[in-house]
A and B are shown apart, each in its own frame.
Chain A
Amino acid sequence: MNWQHFGSLPVALGALTIAAALFALHFLRVRHRRETVVTTLFWRQAIEEARARTLFERFRHPLAYLLLLALALSIWLAAAGPRPPARVERERVLLLDASAPMGRGQRFALARKALAGALARAPREATRVLWCGAQVEGLYLPGEDPLLLDLRLEGRQPEATPPSIERVIAHLAALPRSRPLEIRLFGDAPLRAEFLKGLPKDVEVARAPLDGEAPEPSGLFTLGVNSAASGAWDRVDLLVRAHSGETPTVELGGGLLTGTPRGKGLLFTDLPAAGGIVHVKAGGSESECVLPERPLLGVLVGGDLPAALLDCLAADPGVRLVEDASKADLCVRRRGDSVGEGLPALELVPASDQQQAFLLTAPGEEPADELLDQALALGLDRIDATSLAGQGGVVIGLGARRGPLRSFSLWSELCGPGYDLIQGRAFPLLIGRVLRWLAGVRRFPAVVAAGEPVALDLTELEPVGLDPVPPRAGRYRRAPDAGGGEVAAALLLPPFEDGAPIAPAGGGGGGDWIGRLTLLALLLALIEGWLLRTGRMP
């Protein structure tokens, strides 16, 4: 605890108060203990000799006063937390690495501690601190009270994002400046030597040493899962990228998988989408990935269905036609057909029985607007409703309602010869998505790398003329006009490389003045004790 934030004037006033108080104390009379002796003859002589060496009659101990004053002021100034005169000849930026690797052990806490120490020693007017996580944020601006740093870091933890230090440094180096720039990195983010070589001459980058053990290589995998390129519904492809330079060993269910090189990684195709766990090893690091579950949909089919609809069902790789209702996940039928009672159903309804051409029924408490959005996401937005309306001379409407079971009903006439719905490319898509919606199958997201631009429209991001960058690992929704769905951003951690020199201890901030003053106070106390013991000071 100190009172740095009081400023220099209160500290100076406090020092003056101490000096005045000690001065007054020297004038106060000492409370003597009364002692009766047989004679004061020799005591008077002893006192007379002592007086001969004093400068003043009342203020008899000026040296003792000076010593006490120095001692008290040392303690006072040490408590005041003095800082050396600000070195404004260079601008200083302290970068706190908040990327995923900093979540290991106590690395982040150590970095925070080192950062706080460096800030305490740094010239306040020319120093700022940046949080380098998913986003770059200012934690401390020049001239602010260092206590604000603690407040702004309270409760914050490293984020699931790859290191962004190089990007930040490159950005800082590109900014116009009038003074040389000194950058200190507090964290384990890699800094490539070739990157540092490319920086301007007036930019000095160094890594602040952290206490504790050095970081171990880790986070060297990027795992991505996507639908199988072969088109098999119950299969997925897996992409593994290792960054340790070693070929990863990939196992699934105890069996070793063999992949084919794809770019910087290995591609494993047509893995069963049955929830298996993929285990990856390379360079002493391990990682696991759970494959999605995509079972074939058991579809019970009623009678008298249009051939085009049956063809769609047969062509869908995720659909398995069953005859036993107990093995069915849903059914496709005409309204009035008793097949698949109690199952989610895709129904063909006469136009006379249903006002809307498409009607979505779903349980739950979701508002109607949400249901309509779900209906559109099923592919209805790809249907040319105007054309259909013109062909039939009717209004093609979309409706949604609540019901005990999921169902999707459409006019049976739309599948007849008077309309070209079944001829369009959107019809198989509509049927496939409706079947999966009815069965409650969720689409598993595509996987991209966090921190790297992706050529996808992500609604949670706002690209300005650039491809969006998922800031951290997690899921992102794609824009509806880009096909909807989700994208999973995985961590893509670059290999650790340290081309930055280690910053000297103390950070060049002028030394630990608090420690020096405390040592001085201790030394003065020892001197005073010695003087008292030897009788050189009263």
Chain B
Amino acid sequence: MATALSLESLLDPAFLESVARLRLVARQVPREGRFADQRSRDQGAGLEFRDHRPYSPGDDLRAMDWNLYRRLGKVFLRLFEELEDLPVYLCPDVSASAFHEEPPRALAAARTALALASIALAQHDSVALLPFAEHLQPLLRPISGSGRLMTFARALASLEPGGSTDLATFTRELGALRLRRGLVVLISDFFDPGGLDALTTALRNVRHRLLLVQLVRASDGEPALEGELRLVDCESGQSQDVSVTPAVLERYRSAYRSWNEGLAEFARSRGLGHLRLDVEGDIAAQLTALFQRGRYQA
């Protein structure tokens, strides 16, 4: 099993530079947020004029449009756009499978999380780090400000292998936190022992916008195994005796392909973001592909 992550392996200036131009754009910013760059439905003391509405008793008289009153003889209020932040909850999978192979999926997960955090912090959004395995392990409360990237990176570097993946427990515990609605980025291989049904059921319970970053490698679909094997699950420790023949391999490929298609279909039907990220490939390039024209609308 791979060892824990290091700060040096994460802080790659070139990598961070390559994602600096990317932006996260929220379709809908939750109310009562901080002042930031995201356009919210709140109307308040922003600088950008948005609309007029009739005066109602109790409205702030400072917002009355006196020019309009002089021309029309009716009282209207000037409404301004409120810019707020988008909470971004970065949830890397730290189950044992994330640290099993080389390079570990955890490294790709951490670099992805760092890249997204860099983007979010740069646009004054708040970022939280909520790694998970069998349970949610809140590691960093929402922080904001571009100067907090190092804090975030240190938190990432402290990630350690957990137990097995349990998305149902994770989503239940995530809901229990009653976090302000935002963007939950799940960075995982999604190899939930319960299979695709358990996975989709769990994800349906998430009350946030979801971006699924699926960590894959070529050997997932084409395992280089043959002969009489006792396959041991690195997370649960359970073993499975398999005579790996071409026919069994073909059935394995079929099962993996079906699972993948099911996950993609689920994301498409729910309007979730879904990125298949090859952990052995260029992380920045694959992330860039997600940001069409440099923007990802969450």
What 0/1 pattern do residues 221 to 261 of B give for CB contact below 8 A with A?
00101011111111100111111011111111011100100
User: Once the chains are docked, how many angstroms separate the CA of A34 from the CA of B230?
Assistant: 5
Contacts of B97 in A (CB 8 A): 38-39
User: Once the chains are docked, how many angstroms separate the CA of A384 from the CA of B189?
Assistant: 133
User: Once the chains are docked, how many angstroms separate the CA of A254 from the CA of B191?
Assistant: 108
- Determine whether A536 belongs to the interface, using a CB cutoff of 8 Å to chain B: yes
- Determine whether A260 belongs to the interface, using a CB cutoff of 8 Å to chain B: no
Min CB gap A42→B, angstroms: 4
State which of A30, A44, A532 has its C-beta within 8 Å of the C-beta of B240.
A44
Contact B232 A39 (CB under 8 A): no
Complex interface: stretch among A46-54, A89-97, A138-146, A178-186: A46-54
Contacts of A536 in B (CB 8 A): 247
- Determine whether A534 belongs to the interface, using a CB cutoff of 8 Å to chain B: yes
User: Once the chains are docked, how many angstroms separate the CA of A534 from the CA of B235?
Assistant: 32
Within 8 A of B (CB), among A45-81: 45-47, 49-50
Contact A535 B247 (CB under 8 A): yes
Contacts of B254 in A (CB 8 A): 46
- Determine whether B48 belongs to the interface, using a CB cutoff of 8 Å to chain A: no
Q: How many residues of A contact B (CB 8 A)?
A: 26
Contact A35 B245 (CB under 8 A): no
State which of A36, A46, A50 has its C-beta within 8 Å of the C-beta of B234.
A36
- Determine whether B195 belongs to the interface, using a CB cutoff of 8 Å to chain A: yes
DSSP majority for the B interface?
mixed
State which of B191, B228, B251 has its C-beta within 8 Å of the C-beta of A49.
B251
DSSP majority for the A interface?
mixed
Contact B255 A32 (CB under 8 A): no
User: Once the chains are docked, how many angstroms separate the CA of A31 from the CA of B101?
Assistant: 25
- Determine whether B54 belongs to the interface, using a CB cutoff of 8 Å to chain A: no
Contact A46 B255 (CB under 8 A): yes
- Determine whether B193 belongs to the interface, using a CB cutoff of 8 Å to chain A: yes
* Known A-B contacts A40-B238, A534-B246; A35 and B252 likewise in contact (beta carbons under 8 Å): no
Min CB gap B144→A, angstroms: 35
Min CB gap B41→A, angstroms: 42
Min CB gap A259→B, angstroms: 88
State which of A30, A39, A45 has its C-beta within 8 Å of the C-beta of B191.
A39
Min CB gap A496→B, angstroms: 65
Across the two chains, which residue of chain A brings its CB closest to B97? A38
Contact A45 B225 (CB under 8 A): no
- Determine whether B172 belongs to the interface, using a CB cutoff of 8 Å to chain A: no
- Determine whether B52 belongs to the interface, using a CB cutoff of 8 Å to chain A: no
User: Once the chains are docked, how many angstroms separate the CA of A34 from the CA of B233?
Assistant: 11
Contact B251 A45 (CB under 8 A): yes
User: Once the chains are docked, how many angstroms separate the CA of A37 from the CA of B250?
Assistant: 18
- Determine whether A41 belongs to the interface, using a CB cutoff of 8 Å to chain B: yes
Contacts of B259 in A (CB 8 A): 41-42
Contacts of A42 in B (CB 8 A): 252, 255-256, 259
Tell me which of B101, B195, B234, B255 has the highest count of chain A C-beta atoms within 10 A of its own C-beta: B255
State which of B191, B227, B232, B248 has its C-beta within 8 Å of the C-beta of A46.
B248
- Determine whether B100 belongs to the interface, using a CB cutoff of 8 Å to chain A: yes
Contact A40 B246 (CB under 8 A): no
What 0/1 pattern do residues 510 to 538 of A give for CB contact below 8 A with B?
00000000000000000000001111101
Contacts of A201 in B (CB 8 A): none
User: Once the chains are docked, how many angstroms separate the CA of A32 from the CA of B234?
Assistant: 17
Contact B100 A38 (CB under 8 A): yes
* Known A-B contacts A40-B240, A42-B256; A32 and B247 likewise in contact (beta carbons under 8 Å): no
State which of B220, B232, B251 has its C-beta within 8 Å of the C-beta of A50.
B251
Contact A41 B193 (CB under 8 A): yes
Within 8 A of B (CB), among A167-194: none
Contacts of B101 in A (CB 8 A): 38
State which of A33, A41, A50 has its C-beta within 8 Å of the C-beta of B248.
A50
Across the two chains, which residue of chain B brings its CB closest to A38? B97
Across the two chains, which residue of chain A brings its CB closest to B259? A42
Starting from the known contacts A45-B255, A535-B249, 19 additional A-B residue pairs (CB-CB under 8 Å) come to A31-B228, A32-B228, A32-B230, A32-B241, A34-B239, A37-B233, A39-B189, A39-B234, A40-B232, A41-B191, A41-B255, A42-B255, A45-B251, A46-B248, A46-B251, A46-B252, A50-B247, A534-B246, A534-B247
Instruction: List 24 A-B pairs, Cβ < 8 Å.
Output: A30-B228, A30-B243, A33-B228, A34-B239, A35-B231, A37-B225, A37-B231, A37-B232, A37-B233, A38-B97, A39-B191, A41-B191, A41-B195, A41-B259, A42-B259, A43-B240, A45-B251, A46-B249, A46-B255, A47-B240, A50-B247, A534-B246, A534-B247, A535-B249
A interface vs B, CB < 8 Å? 30-47, 49-50, 532-536, 538
Q: Which 8 A-B pairs have the closest CB atoms?
A: A535-B247, A32-B230, A535-B246, A46-B251, A535-B245, A45-B255, A39-B191, A38-B97
